[in-house]
Amino acid sequence: MAGQLREYRRRIKTVNSTKKITKAMELIAASRIAKARARVTASRPYAEEITRVITAVASQTTITHPLTTERPTPTRAAVVIVTSDRGLAGGYSSNALKRAGELVELLREEGKEPLLYAVGRKAVGYYRFRGRTLAGEYTGFTEQPTYANAKEVADALIQAFTTPTEEGGVDEIHLVFTEYISAMTQTPAAHRLLPMVLREHDEPPPGGPLPNYEFEPSAEAVLDALLPRYVESRLYAALLEAAASESAARQRAMKSATDNAEELAKTYTRAANRARQDAITQEISEIVGGANALASSN
């Protein structure tokens, strides 16, 4: 009886210490969401300007540039998958990996061989376990990515994109990451990074019609220089948004873990109280029984 009570007390202690950890992780994740969101906002002017400039160049020149031109028979495609380094974030990584799986399947059906670039330990582990070879592995920065991290991934992608297909290069670059829609909703999404999908504008874009630029030294040279910047900036934006989503997913997972711990502690406390009461009742009845036995024997 007393042993049962001790067991309950031990469990309450364990649950409470777990709760402290999950509560701390929840708070950290909450502050990281705000930080990541702020960095997304800070990076927006650059990203918007780059996109605007590319749209302007592409819409007024007739040159064919790899940045905007579809290759006639694409046979290989790079797929970048952004997941987290650590777990304890609910379905965050597995949802992104599921979305990536669908994309890979689709690319295969279209006759394109997918080359995988994994960002985050979860993706690396997932594909390693399944014996898939990865074209690139990038880990250690998913919670707080910097521009240098984005550049590292982008450099490898551009290298592959500018290599002819016969020599192992790729014709397309796809990107799978988790979009941050709100604190409650994050959805994994797949986008094609290159060749660029240019939207045909029937009406002038916001901010008036695009100006007729003069190029220095030439439109081709400007596009050549823009290509890596564009990939880097898109990747950077994706990494930041994925970081915000990761933190949001982790916050939610940790919140429900904390709630569960509270619930468990309550249940165990009740059980412990009952066990204690039972022990007392039994002791009393034993004493009474003993006293009665003594009285009747006299």
Where on the chain is the footprint of another protein (CB under 8 A)?
A: 39, 42-43, 45-47, 49-50, 53, 56-57, 146-147, 150, 207-208, 211-217, 221-222, 225-226, 229, 232-233, 236
On whether the CB atoms of residues 160 and 172 are closer than 8 A, the answer is no
Residue 28 vs 50, nearer CB to another protein: 50
Cα distance between residue 150 and residue 144, in whole Å: 11
Can you say whether the dihedral through the CA atoms of 46, 49, 52, 54 is positive or negative?
A: negative
Structure-token match 């690139």, residue found: 136
* 3-state secondary structure (DSSP) of residue 114: strand
Residue 49 vs 102, nearer CB to another protein: 49
Residue 138 vs 236, nearer CB to another protein: 236
Minimum distance, C-beta of residue 43 to another protein, in the bound complex (Å): 6
- State both tokens at 199: 């939207």
On whether the CB atoms of residues 119 and 239 are closer than 8 A, the answer is yes
Minimum distance, C-beta of residue 155 to another protein, in the bound complex (Å): 12
Residue 89 vs 243, nearer CB to another protein: 243
Minimum distance, C-beta of residue 156 to another protein, in the bound complex (Å): 17
Q: Output DSSP code: residue 212.
A: -
For 232, other C-beta atoms within 10 Å of its C-beta total 22
Q: Rounded to whole angstroms, what are the CA distances from 189 to 221, 241, 269?
A: 32, 11, 45
Residue 128 vs 229, nearer CB to another protein: 229
- State both tokens at 185: 């909703």
Minimum distance, C-beta of residue 149 to another protein, in the bound complex (Å): 11
Minimum distance, C-beta of residue 136 to another protein, in the bound complex (Å): 20
Minimum distance, C-beta of residue 138 to another protein, in the bound complex (Å): 17
Residue 236 vs 268, nearer CB to another protein: 236
Helices 92-109 and 121-129, axial angle in degrees (round to 10): 50
